[in-house]
Amino acid sequence: MGVFGEGKSEDSVIRSDKCMVVSFDENRTAGASHAGVHHCDVDRPGRKAGVRLAQCERGLSDVERLNLVGDIDQSGIRADSQDDALHGSDVVVGEAEIGEKGDERRTGHDLAVKWAYVRHSYFDYNATGPVAPVVLRSLAESLSEVYGNASSIHYFGQGARQRVEAARRSVAARLGCDAREIVFTSGGTESDNMALFGVARRAPGCGIVTSAIEHPAVLSTCARLEREGHPVAYLAPGADGVVSADSVAAALRGTGIVSIMHANNETGVMQPIEEIATICRAAEVLLHVDGVQAFGKAGFPAGCDLYSVSGHKMGAPKGVGALYVRKGVALDPILYGGRHERERRAGTENVPGIVALGCAAGIAYDSAGIAALRDRLETGVLARVPACTVNGGQSPRLPNTTNIRFDGIEGEAMTIALDLKGFAVSSGSACSSGAVEPSHVLLAMGLKPEEARSSVRFSLGPGNTVEEVDSLIDAVVECSAHLRRISATFRSEEAVAHA
């Protein structure tokens, strides 16, 4: 197995040049020597007041000239956005505070351009992750050399078929199943849809049992099946984020399929799948498991009948996934066309994506090392930031995930503040980004809406280092202190607590 663990942080600069100066033409309008120049006005017909760009070491291309002037505009907009999102009207953050250091130059009436340097670190692996280097090489090779249709019988088609079947065996080996039980899909969402629609639509009125903490790919599918006449029971987890096997057993009345996720994407809490599988097998009910977050990070649970996998959570590119279908389980297809994938999923196979998924399935995952980094992050934040709690922290979790509640702070504000310091985190599921509602997962666990909104997810991966974790802890301490200073809600809660 290969090991995917190279550092993935990078230095981002607004523009790669070290120092640039914007000067106004001598023919500029009188009294406007310090006025801003909008990039839409540059080089317009009949306008002589152009913009001269001087660079300390080398010249600029025409595209770079336009980009630079656009950046000048955007720097002001970005500063305004920071102030609006994070600060009161009396608190202003200058552009220099975005990065770790900056350069500036002024000459006469020149408009100085200040460059901000931000070292970016990624802590949002549960949303997606980078393509592993070894996977990227296999993907590039497939794109350039394996272009045949895997259903064709000629030389090129058979070459593609061999690659597809090798990938199928690799995914099956990771799951410990027969390669013929693997169906390739476009990702986790399609795999979830295929499992639920495929089983439920074979039997009108087939009952479904699921949980209130599932991914939208499951919850939205269940909602659709409800409208088609299938009764659905939604089980609540405990305060620890765990859906008990007993609650599943109590809900099995006329049920045809149970769908419970292996590990929650927001909290990382692992579900007792093998206990639930024993109950389902005794009741002759099929069990589907959304394993998108757990695949590659945790072992394959024994006893499930269907198991969803997604490539981009584990070093493969987006747009490819798989569904394990236990031998003997019949599914109605949700796509109609050719006889691909043993007539279970029509459509020409995505050979490069499938090859990449097979390659990613062979990569070793350093669970112990990543868990140590996660624990270091949790310990550091809890020790230095008052009034914060790990949601679901008392339960077995994925080794890379922690969800921390910061009382009196909007999770979205903390996410933005950390992003400005170069740290990518999340305030919930990436598939629900943009929603103003608090996390349905945290609400189901019994948190109040304001508590759910004050939570931030940190998910680590092979590219993270001890130095990055320590820097993130420092940033969390600084951001939380500042956000609480300007939070009227937190000040009022403190006053009540000390009354």
Which residues are known catalytic residues? 431
β-bridge mates for residue 403, sequence order? 457
Residue 374: closest CA among 386, 384, 366, 362: 366
First to last CA, the chain: 60
Give dist(CA 313, CA 292) in Å, integer.
7
C-alpha–C-alpha distance, residues 40 and 57, integer Å: 27
H-assigned helices in 146-272: 155-175, 188-200, 216-227, 245-251
**CB environment 426-461: b (16+ within 10 A), e (fewer):** bbbbeebeeeeebbbbbbbbebeeebbbbbbbbbbb
**Partners of 233 in the β-ladder:** 209
Tally of CB atoms within 10 A around 254: 10
Alpha-carbon distance of 462 to 236, in angstroms, equals 33
The helix (H) or strand (E) run that includes residue 428 is none
| Beta carbons of 240 and 270 less than 8 angstroms apart | no
Q: CA Rg, the chain, in Å?
A: 27
Gap between the Cα atoms of 375 and 473, Å rounded = 12
DSSP string, 358-422: HHHHTSB--HHHHHHHHHHHHHHHHHHSSSEEETTTTS-B-TTEEEEEETTS-HHHHHHHHHHTT
Q: Are 55 and 113 in contact (CB under 8 A)?
A: no
Q: Which residue has the tokens 């949980």?
A: 211
CA diameter of the chain: 87
